[in-house]
Amino acid sequence: MVKFAKKASNFEQSAKAKGSNLRVSYKNTRETAAAIKGKSLHRAIKYLENVIEKKEAVPYRVHNGGIGRKAQAKQFKLCTQARWPEKSCRFILSLLHNLEANAEVKELDVKRVKITHIAVKRAPNTRRRVFRAHGRINGHLRQPCHIEMIGCETPKPVTKKMKK
């Protein structure tokens, strides 16, 4: 059994998805994940597709050193820095599709699934070589990451009975 950072509050009403040692930037993925937390599953998928098409941007709130200001960041509260991290969006998008399939297998209503937990953690660095001029070789480190997410089905709204 795979260990998650957080347990689902209601196991029967939730679905999980996880990716380990993904070769995608930790910092970009962390900001992308923070942007979709709390959104419904279909809205998160549409949002990431819009980011890939550069119709919407991902706000950078924590790892924002050297990130330029963008006009699309005006829609976010107290944030002026944004980017369009395409590779991170593609990785998270594939996990969202996996989460959707897992929810369908558990016979959940996919339209009411909301992302309640998403965590991005650093994975061990991978080492490579970069060949430089004059026969020199430098090291090149990659910062991969682990991504895990839990989607819970929101309860149906109860209609209030009218008094006569």
Give the global pTM.
Answer: 0.89
- Residue whose tokens read 């790892």: 63
Judged against a pLDDT cut of 90, whether residue 156 lies above it is answered with no
| Stronger pLDDT, 77 or 102, i.e. the higher one | 102
Q: What is the DSSP letter of 37?
A: T
Name the token pair of 120.
Answer: 């991005």
Judged against a pLDDT cut of 90, whether residue 16 lies above it is answered with yes
